[in-house]
Amino acid sequence: MLEAIATPNAPAAIGPYSQAIKAGNTLYISGQLPIDPATGAFAAEDIAGQTRQSLENIGAILAEAGLTFANVAKVTVLLADIADFGAMNAVYGEYFTGACPARAAFAVRDIPKGAKVEIEAIAVF
């Protein structure tokens, strides 16, 4: 059984997808752009601020499902420029400590809306 998880504390989906889907004991969180849900605009222009907002959006979705960052098992980070890896990683480390989730991080040609970063996550209950 699949259950859509949605919160007004993260940006609404901009297409035919859900913010997150609960499937059994797993939560699949769609890629989160660095959009401030209150304004609909990027929270910052720099990679640190954009990373922080993408992770805040993930945190809001996790909270809606009754989870925290400690429940995250896998993360994928898409970067518009691999040179931003270090700055992204510094902010990322503020959210994940201890037994950090598995992760892939790589540069892609373009990210929707011209963002510098998009982050998706898989969490377990």
SS3 content of the chain, % helix, strand, coil (to 5): 30, 30, 40
**CATH label of the domain that carries residue 41:** 3.30.1330.40
pLDDT in tens, 75-110: 999 999 999 999 999 999 999 999 999 999 999 999
Residues in Cβ contact with 64 at an 8 Å cutoff, skipping those fewer than 6 apart: 5, 6, 7, 9, 20
Contact, 53 vs 34, CB < 8 A? Answer: yes
Both tokens of 111, joined, read 């990210």
Mean pLDDT, the chain, whole residue set:
97
Query: What CA dihedral angle connects 45, 35, 30 and 115, to 10 degrees?
Result: -30
- Number of domains into which the chain is organized: 1
Both tokens of 113, joined, read 């809306």
Measuring CA to CA, how many Å separate 63 from each of 21, 80, 87, 101? 14, 28, 26, 17
Check whether 14 has a pLDDT greater than 90. no
pLDDT in tens, 34-84: 999 999 999 999 999 999 999 999 999 999 999 999 999 999 999 999 999
Whole domain around residue 17: which residue ranges?
A: 2-124
Contact, 72 vs 123, CB < 8 A? Answer: yes
Q: What is the pLDDT of residue 62?
A: 98
